[in-house]
Chains A and B, each alone.
Chain A
Amino acid sequence: MSQYLMRRLLIAIPSLLGISVVLFTVLALAPGDPFEELATNPNVPPEVRTALRVKFGLDDPVPVRYVRWLSAMAHGDWGFSFVSRVDVDKLILQRVPTTLFVVGFSQILAILIAIPVGVFAATRPYSVFDQIANTLAFIGFSLPTFFTGLLFILIFSIYLDWLPFVYRADISATGLDWYWQHVKQALMPIAVLGLFQAASLTRYVRSAMLDVIRLDYVTTARAKGLGEAVVVVKHVVRNALIPVVTLVALQMPAIFGGAIVTEQIFRIPGIGSLLISSILANDTPVVMAVTFVFACLVVLFNLIADILYGWLDPRITLH
């Protein structure tokens, strides 16, 4: 297992490098000067500007700039936000936990819905339950997150007035009330993201279950007298989850995309809303860094999926 883990880690490094190359190429290809705050500021005389450009090496060839940028990123020197006047890494570190909190809980919600529903639907294929679940799943992943978010606000905040629609990091209450306030404000964003994920996950679980449930070893398990529940839970589900883990890993980029939208709707102070506000404020260092953090998170979650994969299917770790 440890050897397998090492190998996976080693595979993650080239993909991170590849992603950084793509990001830097985009930045380098961009017309105009992304760091044009200096260029447009009339208080900076041209000589100073040229000197600064030379100092920061903005006119060097692209590969040289790439290596310099990459080593700076690796050293934790992520630059300085034009707008907030804070180091970019501090700004991002403040916000990452909130994003991970929302994304993590929505994933848990999605799994809690998708696995039981998918398993139940697959054990009774083409039953009424299966068809309803299937149709709901289709509706679920055809509803874009921004529209579900608005619908939830409309129903639960405006008509019913149960939940607040603005996420606040600074809740003044103390003790149990503090937790309750937090749960209340996190409920809608987590539900929006989680239900969207659950919809596609349910379909994956169902089709993976259907592939496994007709295999011979399942018949053997039944033939030796095991109860149906034991057969399904212990023999079928574990094997059916193997392809599902891969598909979840492939979905990771989409999940973080959904997180950006949700953070924007509910004004959650995470890195997604930071990205949008920096784009609107032309804050290039923050935009680049947040995009790179998103890429790192995707690679990290793919790694976690790989580890899960190895745990679910011990054969994988042997190769």
Chain B
Amino acid sequence: MAGSIRALPSTEIGADGRVSGRRFSPGRDAWRRFRRHRLALASCVILITMVLAILLGATVWSVPINDIDFAARLEGPSWQHPFGTDDLGQDLLARMIYGGRISLAVGLAAMFVAVSVGTAVGAVAGMSRGWVGSGLMWLTDLFLSLPQLPLLLLVIYLFRDHLKALFGPEGGVFVLIVIVIGGLRWMPVARLVRGQFLSLREKEFVEAARALGASKTRQVVRHILPNALGPVIVAGTIDVAAAIIAESTLSFLGLGFPPDIPTWGRILYDAKDYLDIAPHWALFPGAAIFLTVLSINFIGDGLRDTLDPRRVM
């Protein structure tokens, strides 16, 4: 089946998606476009492998992350410790599996916050015709010119202790980082959504819905929003990568998660003073961040090709 689809030049597909009697769903058509982007496809495989390794790794590699063994300090990769050990003789593979879960969870949760806030702001700004829209856009532009990393550091500095008391050391930092990263990354999504809304709300199919008596909420939720989602999905994908980098940066500066939670950035932070004697300690988490971010970016690029209706492929 897959072979026969590939052989079909896309120009033969009509507006209704009908080719030689066979019907293509939008999903399958999207998949067909996505498959053309080879790097995106390869990235998908890499990312899925890494996610599976992170999720299932702990059951296969059941070495505790805080098992201190001074006899095996700063050892390079070996069969006993595939990724080597750190300055306390803790197994790096186990720590990276644990940290990867947190990095990915932060990335996904922060993306969710950014996309929700951005879509809400963009939708309201795109539907209102008065001062609300321009006010919201002014706010968006203001947030875009905020220096994000200093502000991120400032918020974490001011609120860290309070949230730690509220949600516990891990939960507090997690909630804080997710909210702050998400709260500083919604602006591009808001602009995209507003732009889409401004053109879509004047389209005939929305007018038809309005004529049939659809309420404003229904017009937005059933008719406009689904058509505006393409660029949002792309922006959301890239936001996951950006959030992972932001979290690693915070941890790398020593201001993210506490030392006993080995996120990838935190491992790098601990490793940077031992670069000359134990380079493996920094290289493995660094490579993990790089591979994850690179594959997410490539997938985002592939999705852009897939979901951009203007592009003829």
Q: When the two chains form their complex, are residues B290 and A19 in contact, meaning their CB atoms are under 8 A apart?
A: no
Chain B 135-151: CB-based contact to A (< 8 A → 1; otherwise 0): 00000011111111111
Name the one of B147, B249, B252, B290 contacting A143, with C-beta atoms under 8 angstroms.
Answer: B290
How far is it, in angstroms, between the C-alpha of A309 and the C-alpha of B134 when the chains are bound? 23
Q: When the two chains form their complex, are residues A146 and B249 in contact, meaning their CB atoms are under 8 A apart?
A: yes
> With A19-B146, A22-B146, A135-B39 known to touch, is A142 a contact of B268 (CB < 8 Å)?
no
Mark out the residues of chain A between 272 and 304 whose CB falls within 8 Å of any chain B CB in the assembled complex: 275-276, 279-280, 287-288, 290-291, 294-295, 297-299, 302
Question: A86 in the interface, Cβ–Cβ < 8 Å?
Answer: no
Which residues in B have their C-beta under 8 angstroms from that of A264? 253
Main secondary structure of the interface of A (DSSP, over half): helix
Min CB–CB distance A305 → chain B (angstroms): 11
Which residues in B have their C-beta under 8 angstroms from that of A27? 158
Name the one of A144, A288, A302 contacting B290, with C-beta atoms under 8 angstroms.
Answer: A144
Which residues in B have their C-beta under 8 angstroms from that of A298? 145-147
Q: When the two chains form their complex, are residues B146 and A138 in contact, meaning their CB atoms are under 8 A apart?
A: no
Q: When the two chains form their complex, are residues A260 and B149 in contact, meaning their CB atoms are under 8 A apart?
A: yes
How far is it, in angstroms, between the C-alpha of A141 and the C-alpha of B150 when the chains are bound? 20
Which residues in A have their C-beta under 8 angstroms from that of B252? 146, 261
Which residues in B have their C-beta under 8 angstroms from that of A143? 290, 294
Question: B69 in the interface, Cβ–Cβ < 8 Å?
Answer: no
Mark out the residues of chain A between 236 and 271 whose CB falls within 8 Å of any chain B CB in the assembled complex: 250, 252-254, 256-257, 260-261, 264-265
Min CB–CB distance A172 → chain B (angstroms): 24
Q: When the two chains form their complex, are residues B290 and A154 in contact, meaning their CB atoms are under 8 A apart?
A: no
Main secondary structure of the interface of B (DSSP, over half): helix
Name the one of A144, A265, A275 contacting B150, with C-beta atoms under 8 angstroms.
Answer: A275
When A and B form their complex, what is the total count of cross-chain residue pairs whose Cβ atoms lie within 8 Å?
A: 133
Question: A101 in the interface, Cβ–Cβ < 8 Å?
Answer: no
Question: A30 in the interface, Cβ–Cβ < 8 Å?
Answer: yes
> With A30-B159, A139-B294, A144-B290 known to touch, is A256 a contact of B275 (CB < 8 Å)?
no
In chain B, what residue has the closest Cβ to A273?
Answer: B253
Question: A23 in the interface, Cβ–Cβ < 8 Å?
Answer: yes
Q: When the two chains form their complex, are residues A19 and B145 in contact, meaning their CB atoms are under 8 A apart?
A: yes
Name the one of B150, B162, B253, B286 contacting A256, with C-beta atoms under 8 angstroms.
Answer: B150
Mark out the residues of chain B between 237 and 254 whose CB falls within 8 Å of any chain A CB in the assembled complex: 241, 245, 248-249, 252-254
Question: B154 in the interface, Cβ–Cβ < 8 Å?
Answer: yes
Question: A97 in the interface, Cβ–Cβ < 8 Å?
Answer: no
Q: When the two chains form their complex, are residues B154 and A291 in contact, meaning their CB atoms are under 8 A apart?
A: yes
In chain A, what residue has the closest Cβ to B241?
Answer: A142
Name the one of A142, A265, A294, A302 contacting B293, with C-beta atoms under 8 angstroms.
Answer: A142
Mark out the residues of chain A between 205 and 258 whose CB falls within 8 Å of any chain B CB in the assembled complex: 250, 252-254, 256-257
Q: When the two chains form their complex, are residues A279 and B157 in contact, meaning their CB atoms are under 8 A apart?
A: yes
How far is it, in angstroms, between the C-alpha of A299 and the C-alpha of B145 when the chains are bound? 7
Q: When the two chains form their complex, are residues B282 and A154 in contact, meaning their CB atoms are under 8 A apart?
A: yes
Mark out the residues of chain B between 113 and 150 whose CB falls within 8 Å of any chain A CB in the assembled complex: 141-150
How far is it, in angstroms, between the C-alpha of A295 and the C-alpha of B290 when the chains are bound? 29
In chain B, what residue has the closest Cβ to A282?
Answer: B157
Which residues in A have their C-beta under 8 angstroms from that of B53? none
Q: When the two chains form their complex, are residues B276 and A158 in contact, meaning their CB atoms are under 8 A apart?
A: yes
Tell me which of B39, B253, B286 has the highest count of chain A C-beta atoms within 10 A of its own C-beta: B253
Q: When the two chains form their complex, are residues A257 and B149 in contact, meaning their CB atoms are under 8 A apart?
A: yes
Q: When the two chains form their complex, are residues B162 and A26 in contact, meaning their CB atoms are under 8 A apart?
A: no
Q: When the two chains form their complex, are residues B290 and A256 in contact, meaning their CB atoms are under 8 A apart?
A: no
Q: When the two chains form their complex, are residues A138 and B147 in contact, meaning their CB atoms are under 8 A apart?
A: no
Q: When the two chains form their complex, are residues B153 and A253 in contact, meaning their CB atoms are under 8 A apart?
A: no
Which residues in B have their C-beta under 8 angstroms from that of A279? 153-154, 157, 255
Question: B170 in the interface, Cβ–Cβ < 8 Å?
Answer: no
Question: A32 in the interface, Cβ–Cβ < 8 Å?
Answer: yes
Q: When the two chains form their complex, are residues A30 and B158 in contact, meaning their CB atoms are under 8 A apart?
A: yes
How far is it, in angstroms, between the C-alpha of A275 and the C-alpha of B282 when the chains are bound? 24
Which residues in B have their C-beta under 8 angstroms from that of A18? 142
Q: When the two chains form their complex, are residues B145 and A256 in contact, meaning their CB atoms are under 8 A apart?
A: no
Q: When the two chains form their complex, are residues A150 and B268 in contact, meaning their CB atoms are under 8 A apart?
A: yes
How far is it, in angstroms, between the C-alpha of A298 and the C-alpha of B145 when the chains are bound? 7
Mark out the residues of chain B between 252 and 284 whose CB falls within 8 Å of any chain A CB in the assembled complex: 252-255, 265, 268, 272, 275-276, 279, 282-283
Q: When the two chains form their complex, are residues A142 and B148 in contact, meaning their CB atoms are under 8 A apart?
A: no
Name the one of B148, B275, B289 contacting A144, with C-beta atoms under 8 angstroms.
Answer: B289
> With A15-B145, A30-B158, A150-B282 known to touch, is A142 a contact of B153 (CB < 8 Å)?
no
In chain B, what residue has the closest Cβ to A149?
Answer: B272
Q: When the two chains form their complex, are residues B155 and A257 in contact, meaning their CB atoms are under 8 A apart?
A: no
The interface of chain A, by Cβ under 8 A from chain B, is 15, 18-19, 22-23, 26-27, 30-32, 34, 135, 138-139, 141-144, 146-147, 150-151, 153-154, 158, 250, 252-254, 256-257, 260-261, 264-265, 275-276, 279-280, 287-288, 290-291, 294-295, 297-299, 302
The interface of chain B, by Cβ under 8 A from chain A, is 39, 141-151, 153-155, 157-159, 161-162, 241, 245, 248-249, 252-255, 265, 268, 272, 275-276, 279, 282-283, 286, 289-290, 293-294, 297-298, 301
Known A31-B158, A32-B161, A144-B249; 5 more pairs at CB < 8 Å? A26-B151, A142-B290, A154-B279, A276-B153, A299-B145
Identify 9 residue pairs between A and B in the complex whose beta-carbon atoms are under 8 Å apart, listed by A's number. Answer: A15-B142, A22-B142, A22-B146, A142-B293, A151-B286, A253-B144, A256-B150, A261-B252, A276-B254
